[in-house]
Amino acid sequence: MMCRVLVVDLDGTLTLSRNTYELSAEALLALRRARDAGLRVVLATANGLDFALAIARYLGIRDVIAENGCLVYLDGETHELCSGDMSRVDGAVLATGAVAPSPQNKCRRFDLAYVPLAADALERVRSAVPPGYVVESSGYAIHVRPAVVDKGVAVAWLCERLGVPCFQVASVGDSDVDVGMLRRTWGFAVGNATPAAKEAARVVVERPSGLGFREAVDIILSGGACTP
């Protein structure tokens, strides 16, 4: 086995499918096998940090990338990779009337999440947001954040801190917000991932969401990933 770090998305990757929050039992068992085999597992999610830390605790994961890379929790310390005040952007997004704020926004810092209220919500938010910000859908929410960071930038930052080259990192994801990390690592897209995630990944597995994550872990543990 060549991979040393496994970065895993949450919603749509550890869940039963891309339209539920229910965790997949197969994915949880695969996660444990990966950790027991000595891989350092990192949760990388669009969710807020407090929420992600709570989930990570019950998944047995210590290191967390939250807010699509804007916040990284490593060895008990929180690192901010984004900066600036999002209130003006938040006001412009809400003024479109195309979305409602996620309940998590009151405890989010730089990546704000919104629930779409209209079929064209993504386009309307994109046209309302000033340059320098990126608007992406995770399939669970619309996210707006400073354009300088994504999950891939955060993974690269983490690898630097851990002293692990990115080619020894595997990642598994399902949506457009995972494209950056899938590109920078030995990326796996689950079988029901978005076209952009599949295009960015090195491997697209057959099975969907949690079963697809298990498939990726089996490939990693059999030495079929992170090879030079």
Ligand X SMILES: O=C(O)COP(=O)(O)O
Choose among 54, 129, 50: nearest CA to 96: 129
Helix (H) or strand (E) holding 121: helix 121-128
Considering the complex, what minimum distance in angstroms separates the CB of residue 47 from ligand X?
4
Closer residue to Mg ion (CB): 63 or 174 = 174
Considering the complex, what minimum distance in angstroms separates the CB of residue 228 from Mg ion?
29
Q: Does the annotation flag 111 for ligand binding?
A: no
Residue 175 and residue 189 in contact, taking contact as beta carbons nearer than 8 Å:
no
Q: From CA 139, how far away is CA 143, in angstroms rounded?
A: 10
Q: Of residues 9, 63, 111, 150, which has the active-site annotation? A: 9
Amino acid symbol at 185? T
9 is a catalytic site residue? yes
Considering the complex, what minimum distance in angstroms separates the CB of residue 138 from ligand X?
3
Residue number with the shortest CB distance to Mg ion?
Answer: 12
Contacts of 26 (CB under 8 A, 6+ apart): 210, 211, 213, 214
Closer residue to ligand X (CB): 131 or 137 = 137
Q: From CA 183, how far away is CA 89, in angstroms rounded?
A: 28
Q: From CA 190, how far away is CA 39, in angstroms rounded?
A: 20
Choose among 86, 116, 87, 88: nearest CA to 101: 116
Task: Specify burial of residue 85 (Cβ count, 10 A radius: 0-12, 13-18, 19+).
Answer: exposed
Closer residue to Mg ion (CB): 40 or 143 = 143
* Contact positions vs ligand X (CB under 6 A): 9-12, 45-47, 113, 138, 140-141, 175, 177
| Residue 154 CA to its chain's centroid (Å) | 10
Q: Does the annotation flag 198 for ligand binding?
A: no
Among 175, 185, 192, 194, binds Mg ion (CB under 5 A): 175
Among 5, 6, 8, 9, binds Mg ion (CB under 5 A): 9
Considering the complex, what minimum distance in angstroms separates the CB of residue 18 from ligand X?
9
Q: Does the annotation flag 178 for ligand binding?
A: yes
Closer residue to ligand X (CB): 37 or 54 = 54
Q: Does the annotation flag 106 for ligand binding?
A: no
**Can you tell me which residue has the tokens 């003024």?**
95
**Can you tell me which residue has the tokens 């990642």?**
171
Residue 48 dihedral angles phi and psi, to the nearest 5°: -65, 160
- Check binding of 111 to Mg ion (CB under 5 A): no
Q: Does the annotation flag 90 for ligand binding?
A: no
Which residues are known to be catalytic? 9
Binding residues for Mg(2+) are 9, 11, 174, 178
Binding residues are 9, 11, 151, 174, 178
Interface residue list for Mg ion (CB under 5 A): 9, 11-12, 174-175
